[in-house]
Amino acid sequence: MALTILVLSFAGFLLLGVPVAFAIGLSSAAALLVEGMPLAVMFQRMVSGMNIFSFLAIPFFIFAGEIMLYGGVAARIVRFAKSLTNHVRGGLGMSNVVSCTLFGGVSGSPVADVSAMGAVMIPMMKKEGYHADYAVNVTTHASLVGALMPTSHNMVIYAFAAGGAVSISSLIMAGMLPALVLTICMLVAAYLVAVKRNYPKGEFPGWGEVVNSFGAALPGLMIAVIILVGILSGVFTATEAASVAVVYALILTVIVYKSMTWENLMKSAAMAVKTTGVVLLLIGISAVFQHLMSLYEVAELTGEMMSSISSSPWAIFAMINIILFLLGTFMDMASTILICTPIFLPIAMKFGMDPVQFGMLMLINCALGLNTPPVGTTQFVGCAIGGISVGQVMKTIWPFYGALIAAMLLITYVPSFSLWLPSVMLGR
């Protein structure tokens, strides 16, 4: 009875448009009351769920990304990306993909990536004769790579939701190859659409410009390198790496680039506080929800139901992908990770999937949801910048969707894409 109340009330609140954190909290409170448990249990679980040392990485990674966003790093990355690809047919679109990938390694946030790169690249592409739908689709899809990069705070959230089954360091290393695969798929999609539409190509600016633009962008790009080298060498942990990222971002934007104003610094701090508050509220509330799901053996019941449909790992993984994608279309990344990981990770492990590989599968599915209505945060941001409706963008989204799905299938069914680097670099 209590499980039915939990599931139905949660679904009902979501359909009514109640914010996810409140929907989780209210449905959990209803289940506790039905069970006759005191509501004090809810608050105890919330506090214990948030009171974890490794969560210090979340506000630091978010703050570092916001500093980079407001500190003028994006323009230098765009200049470098253009010098590499602008001479190819539709080169500005491919420059957009490279720019979003590189800035994703700096910010670790798809939404921040769209905000920064979209503000620069979408108007530039429209001015050069590219259609608005193409400019928006390229930007919003390429920005999703940020979810798999070393600065992604969603990796920290997944590590918590996995209940200690995986380390943050392993996830950081595991994301590198999937990010590369996703970038290549996006480059192919952007190029093929550009050729079909006969978009213009520019001139190669010369190797001198490539070297100069790389030198200007390199300090910003070094943040991901510092995190990786620091963790692999044992100089600092993944949690400490986040605080190092903030210090480096401040030194870079204030002293080296001298592009950070006091106003923008306050904006970046305010945005970091706002985002951290939302994420930690979700984590605390979800700890209660996870406790109830464990109490009612939701993972076991879901596993039995899926096993009754098929015993093939390929089919099970396909079902998990479909469910995660559908949930991701109306929930944000943190919510989907926190709710779905305790349910589907045990099922995936039962059928032979490594928890690190499942983390990559989870992140890319959640990222795909960010670009799909009705929520589609990155898509709405991109459309607002491009001055085009979501409906118009959806009509021509399929080549880019296809690129994302191709990358997702490779990550799902070829474990080495996720597990090779952690095994080589960390001996996992």
CA distance 108 to 155: 10
The reply to whether 330 and 349 lie within a common domain is yes
pLDDT (0 to 100) of residue 344 = 92
Q: Assess whether pLDDT exceeds 60 at residue 428.
A: no
The reply to whether 10 and 121 lie within a common domain is no
| pLDDT > 90: percent of the chain | 13
The reply to whether 251 and 376 lie within a common domain is yes
The reply to whether 31 and 65 lie within a common domain is no
The reply to whether 5 and 137 lie within a common domain is no
The reply to whether 33 and 78 lie within a common domain is no
Q: Residue 169's closest CA among 238, 222, 225?
A: 238
Q: Residue 284's closest CA among 35, 6, 16, 44?
A: 44
Average pLDDT for the chain: 85
The reply to whether 19 and 89 lie within a common domain is no
The reply to whether 45 and 129 lie within a common domain is yes
pLDDT, one tens digit per residue, over 332-391 is 788 888 888 988 999 999 999 999 999 999 999 888 888 887 667 788 888 888 888 888
Whether residue 243 contacts residue 56, with contact meaning beta carbons closer than 8 Å, is answered with: yes
Q: What is the domain extent for residue 6?
A: 1-37
pLDDT (0 to 100) of residue 251 = 92
CA distance 352 to 279: 31
The model's confidence at residue 281, banded by pLDDT at 50, 70 and 90, is confident
Angle made by CA atoms 344, 407, 373, in degrees to the nearest 5: 70
Average pLDDT over residues 73-95: 82
pLDDT (0 to 100) of residue 285 = 83
Lowest mean pLDDT: which of 75-79, 176-180, 405-409? 75-79
Q: Assess whether pLDDT exceeds 70 at residue 30.
A: yes
CA distance 278 to 280: 6
How many domains does the structure of the chain reveal? 2
CA distance 178 to 181: 5
Helices (H), 36-175: 40-50, 57-70, 73-85, 91-107, 110-127, 132-142, 153-161, 168-174
Q: Residue 140's closest CA among 364, 370, 329?
A: 370
Two tokens at 275?
């985002």
pLDDT, one tens digit per residue, over 125-153 is 888 888 999 999 999 988 888 888 887 88
pLDDT, one tens digit per residue, over 189-231 is 999 999 898 887 777 778 888 889 888 888 888 888 888 788 7
**Helices H, strands E: what count in the chain?**
22, 0
The reply to whether 301 and 420 lie within a common domain is yes
The reply to whether 207 and 137 lie within a common domain is yes
CA distance 180 to 407: 10
pLDDT (0 to 100) of residue 423 = 86
206 three-class SS: coil
pLDDT (0 to 100) of residue 290 = 79
Spell out the residues 6+ positions from residue 53 whose beta carbon is closer than 8 angstroms to its own: 239
The reply to whether 15 and 92 lie within a common domain is no
Average pLDDT over residues 24-33: 86
Spell out the residues 6+ positions from residue 233 whose beta carbon is closer than 8 angstroms to its own: none
Q: How far is residue 418 from each of residues 165, 353, 355, measured CA to CA in Å?
A: 15, 11, 10
CA distance 264 to 326: 37
pTM of the model: 0.85
- Please state, as a whole number, how many other Cβ atoms lie within 10 Å of the Cβ of residue 229: 12
The reply to whether 119 and 24 lie within a common domain is no
